[in-house]
Structure 1
Amino acid sequence: MDTKKTRKYTQKTIEIDSTISSGEHGEATKAKANASVETGEEAPISVGTLRAEIRAGLKPYEDSLDSIKNQLACMHKGISSDISVLREEAKADIKATRDELMGKVEQLFTMQAEAASTQKEMEKSLSDTTDRLTTLEKSYMSLKADYKKLQEKCTDLEDTSRRQNIRIVGVAEGAESNNITGFAAKFLAEVLGADNFDSPIVIDRAHRSLISKPRSGERPRPIIVRLHYFTEKEKILKLSRNKGNLHFEGSPVYIFPDISPEVGRMRATFNQLKQKLRSANIQYNLYYPAKLVITANGSRYTFTDAQAAEKFILSNKLITSEDETE
């Protein structure tokens, strides 16, 4: 039967009064159907017939549906079983991981506690060390000041013990023979002039500088002479400055006051500057222990530092570039 006609007949059948389905009108319905067949018209299909046909058509699908339901039930049961197994395995893994992490966390807490304790000990030690260092710095500054005072005092005492000494430089080795004290007296009288002394020069002792004896061709050792009277020492140094260049047996000799090595190093810092001042004909004096006094333009300028003195000279143009070249 054509689908469109079936729908048409179905619609007509549904439009029939609901009483058609009752037992009272069953025969009337059949009669009308037969009449329709006899007349050649298509008889309408009842709802019950349609339902029966639909059920018959759906019968194979219902069987397949039952089979699918059974398969789905089996699959559901298997999946549920697998999920249960996976859940138990996951729980076991999570528990093992949790136990492992808890152990690691406990180790971390222990290490952190030890580190905190160590840090506190280090902070305390550092604080104690800082306090001790501060105390040591204060002690060092105090000791440094005391050391400087003691050094200056020792230097002064050493120079005081040398205040009656003179240093003779340039005398050849062996010129004194075996009597260096008598040689020193004779040397001073000969070089400075015997007529400059009212009485023989009194010398307590004399000796060569206490360094290794030089080899042939090397500079001879200085002679240290201790005079009995300080006034004679001052007189000898004055005569030496006034005479200028001194010679003994054809060689130049020099007479200096005997000073300590510390004062000698302090005075040596002015050596180059003194040479420049002499070249420029600028008057200067070097006083004990190492104080340079420059006389220029009618004024006296005192310096204890060679660099400051040179800076002053250059800034005031006391020395020209030609003087420095010379």
Structure 2
Amino acid sequence: MQTELRAVKTRMNNAEERISDMEDRIMAITQSGQQTENRIKTLESNIRDLWDNIKRANLHIIGIPEGVEKDKGMENIFEEIIAGKFPNLKDTGFKIQEAQRAPNKLNPNGPTPRHIIIKMAKVSDKERILKAAREKQNVTYKGTPISLSADFSTETLQTRREWQEIFKVLKGKNMQPRILYPARISFQIEGEIRIFSNKQKLKEYSNTKPRFKEILKGLL
């Protein structure tokens, strides 16, 4: 009986060792998978930041009909818009590095005119023009409504869009919300300015503020 017990104990020990070894391997694979996923996310974030940095001095002009630049050129159209709609900026000495139509890979013959991308020499020039456009609100070119916006990566644009509903609610509560570069939201609460880069962090913060959580109910 003792011999059989020792044999059973040996088999159990061997089984436990194999199970422990398998658990270690599973853990290693899991950790490796998580590390790989984390590396991919980090790379994607770095690529997005790089694109946003490259595009930081760019302006988008949306709504200019196709073909009008053949006679005047992109830069002349842009200068005409500035002189006609934002005369205070006319003599500020800003410089344009490049002006071109955005490529439309999906539907080059689509009904919506391609955006015009203006690359400014200075980020500060781009920001002054965008500020003037926001203050004027309604901007037209030869009777056609147009809009001016910053140039961002696709991922950053999506993130900025996702803040819009929250932005509207906070604005309705006079919390002075702002969308900061590239895709952060800021607002005033309890006399302080709070800034958040994503909804998860905002949700974690709202869990500590019952009244604020109620304001954002259904949005996080």
Is the partner of 2:97 in helix, strand or coil? strand
Q: Which amino acid aligns with 1:182?
A: N
Q: Name 2:9's counterpart in structure 1.
A: none
Q: Which amino acid aligns with 2:154?
A: P
Is the partner of 2:187 in helix, strand or coil? strand
Q: How does 1:39-118 map to 2 (within 5 A)?
A: none
Q: Name 1:236's counterpart in structure 2.
A: 129
Is the partner of 2:80 in helix, strand or coil? helix
Q: Distance in 2 between matches of 1:175 and 1:282?
A: 43
TM-score by length of 2: 0.70
- The structure showing larger relative contact order (alpha-carbon pairs under 8 Å, at least 6 residues apart) is 2
Q: Distance in 2 between matches of 1:174 and 1:232?
A: 26
**Does residue 155 in structure 1 map to residue 48 in structure 2?**
yes
Higher alpha-carbon deviation: 267-276 or 299-308: 299-308
**Does residue 225 in structure 1 map to residue 118 in structure 2?**
yes
Larger radius of gyration: 1
Is the partner of 1:283 in helix, strand or coil? coil
Report % sequence identity: 27
Q: Is the 8 A contact 1:202 1:228 kept in 2?
A: yes
Q: How does 1:81-230 map to 2 (within 5 A)?
A: 132-177=25-70, 179-193=73-87, 195-198=88-91, 201-211=94-104, 212-215=107-110, 218-230=111-123
Is the partner of 2:103 in helix, strand or coil? coil
Q: Distance in 1 between matches of 2:109 and 2:211?
A: 44
Q: Name 1:302's counterpart in structure 2.
A: 195
Q: Name 1:55's counterpart in structure 2.
A: none
Structure with greater helix share of residues:
1
CA RMSD in angstroms, aligned pairs only: 3.5
Q: Name 2:182's counterpart in structure 1.
A: 289
Q: Distance in 2 between matches of 1:278 and 1:170?
A: 28
Deviation readout 1:284-315 (Å, 9 max, x if unpaired): 11112322112256432333344846x68993
Q: Distance in 1 between matches of 2:48 and 2:130?
A: 22
Is the partner of 2:70 in helix, strand or coil? coil
Q: Name 1:315's counterpart in structure 2.
A: 211
Structure with greater strand share of residues:
2
Q: Distance in 2 between matches of 1:207 and 1:276?
A: 37
Q: Distance in 1 between matches of 2:199 and 2:49?
A: 21
Q: Is the 8 A contact 2:98 2:120 kept in 1?
A: yes
Match of 2:146 among 253, 275, 278: 253
Is the partner of 2:68 in helix, strand or coil? coil
Q: Which amino acid aligns with 2:52?
A: D
1:317 to partner: Cα distance: 9.0
Q: Distance in 2 between matches of 1:277 and 1:169?
A: 28
Q: Which amino acid aligns with 1:266?
A: T
TM-score by length of 1: 0.50
1:233 to partner: Cα distance: 1.5
Is the partner of 1:286 in helix, strand or coil? strand
CA distance change for structure 1 residues 129 and 168 in 2, over 3 Å: closer, same or farther? Answer: farther
Q: Distance in 1 between matches of 2:144 and 2:190?
A: 38
Q: Distance in 1 between matches of 2:213 and 2:28?
A: 50
Gaps of 5+ in 2: 1-17, 216-220
Q: Is the 8 A contact 2:167 2:178 kept in 1?
A: no
Q: Distance in 2 between matches of 1:136 and 1:252?
A: 56
Q: Distance in 2 between matches of 1:134 and 1:296?
A: 43
Gaps of 5+ in 1: 1-123, 320-326
Q: Distance in 2 between matches of 1:314 and 1:272?
A: 19
Question: How many equivalent residue pairs?
Answer: 195
Q: Distance in 1 between matches of 2:145 and 2:178?
A: 23
Q: Is the 8 A contact 1:285 1:294 kept in 2?
A: yes
Q: Which amino acid aligns with 1:230?
A: V
Q: Distance in 1 between matches of 2:214 and 2:115?
A: 35
Q: Distance in 1 between matches of 2:213 and 2:21?
A: 57
